[in-house]
A and B are shown apart, each in its own frame.
Chain A
């Protein structure tokens, strides 16, 4: 293949919650780091570099919180790099850790971070600030309204009902009920979702992800290091990234390159990761997927962008159970972002969950015999996309 293999040898994540009054921000980072170190059987001094996963500062309310987090990851006297691509931050951080090893710069790299979104008075106020102050911020744009408009365009183009959206919530909560790390673990019915209040039409309260507190950490190592030290590993075999242009209004109108109904650049990112991993038929060759879905409707875009089915075709398939535990391709057995969203590490948790599946450690949410998984995360205004293929 020509690509060096990089192994995942340790993963750690919190049990995510709305609030963690028992832990300061660095305490939360340290919590995940301790779990990942324990899993890898390594010590702080074995780690050569840190990639620090931290989304918008205002979400944790600490300017450049990597300053404070540096001690929680044992960063003294080591290479240290902060990554921020919004919602994609976590997966971008794993990719940056991967590049350290793949480039031959380091043998052992840790990526870690945490978020305390539940401490932010109003995350949509923070997220409104990601729009430019010239033309767009005066409008009440936020991630919910932006993706509500995506749902409207998807519905117009392919057909999508509020019941179809609710079905994603039902599936996600059912999976999350089996995941001790998930934030929202209570099962719900379609009627429960439909009865919840409108936030931004057509998105209702239960179509939305929660604001979660918790941390995530991963330790990556070179193939040589893993063999020399006789460590267990699962392997990152494909890494893709792709960005979309800034203006939301350019994803509509006359012949847009990327329609806001779809996730065009996410699909390009998947194609890059698949080409690297040698995946030609994802539906047949992928056992488990952890795809970024902060709102119920985005599950459909992600499934289609991953190439599991054609554009507009995922809605009836999800209804048939194709993407549920026990189905043909299990999507978000963790419950996904819809049930847990600690923004700074959400993309990383996608890869942590895959690794957990491939190590066979996923307990009740285990996809039996899972050998190959894919992960994705989206950042900005549906703008920065990261994807990964991981294999046992």
Chain B
């Protein structure tokens, strides 16, 4: 028998409030090109990206600590496949532990030739030193910065 189908497209708009901690973080990033973490007084750990409480000690974080712009790669991947609503491949992104932070924050790796996956992976291997670079026009978003190899 003839089997029929119906096509649907969900287009839903949200306006997400970021809250006090992320707002402060993004204002510093936007206005001063600086990255900050939040320190947990109980463990002393500096959490980046910053949040209002520690997910391990469960205590509120207490103070802002400037971190980076240098750091080291903790994880990466290189995407070669296009996905709808995601960037055009190839691109590399991953996580970097910024100097002064105890945890890692996500971002794109730029300035690496990604044509040969194995060569690119060798360049981006865990432990490699990088520096955060900032966009000239910053809007207060995590994409205002990215990482480049030292």
Contacts and interface: CB of A to CB of B under 8 A. Distances in A.
Chain A interface size, under 10 / 10 to 19 / 20 to 34 / 35 or more: 35 or more
A140 B55 contact: no
A254 interface: yes
B106 A250 contact: no
A21 interface: yes
6 contacts: A21-B3, A139-B106, A248-B75, A252-B97, A253-B97, A256-B103
A145 B101 CA distance: 23
A149 B3 CA distance: 41
B interface residue count range (under 10 / 10 to 19 / 20 to 34 / 35 or more) = 35 or more
Contact of B95 (A138, A246, A249, A254): A249
Contacts of A153: 74-75, 126
Nearest to A156: B126
Most chain A Cβ neighbours within 10 Å, of B49, B51, B74, B108? B74
Contact of A122 (B5, B55, B84): B84
Contact of A61 (B8, B18, B19, B48): B8
Contacts, number: 143
Interface string B12-53: 001010110010000000000000000000000101110100
Contact of A252 (B5, B51, B74, B91): B74
Given A138-B141, A254-B97, A249 B80 contact: no
Contacts of B107: 139
B102 interface: yes
Given A128-B86, A136-B106, A199-B80, 7 more contacts: A124-B83, A135-B105, A140-B86, A197-B81, A199-B79, A201-B78, A247-B55
Interface of A: 21-22, 58, 61, 121-122, 124-125, 128, 133-136, 138-142, 145, 148-150, 152-153, 156, 197-203, 245-250, 252-257, 260
A141 B106 contact: yes
B149 interface: no
B93 A140 contact: yes
B125 A156 contact: yes
A121 B84 contact: yes
A319 to B, nearest CB: 22
Nearest to B143: A138
Contacts of B84: 121-122, 124-125
B103 A135 contact: no
Contact of A134 (B16, B76, B95): B16
Contacts of A249: 48-49, 74, 95, 103-106
A139 B77 contact: no
Contacts of A253: 74, 97, 101-104
B86 A124 contact: yes
- 4 shortest interchain CB distances as A-B pairs: A249-B104, A252-B74, A149-B75, A148-B77
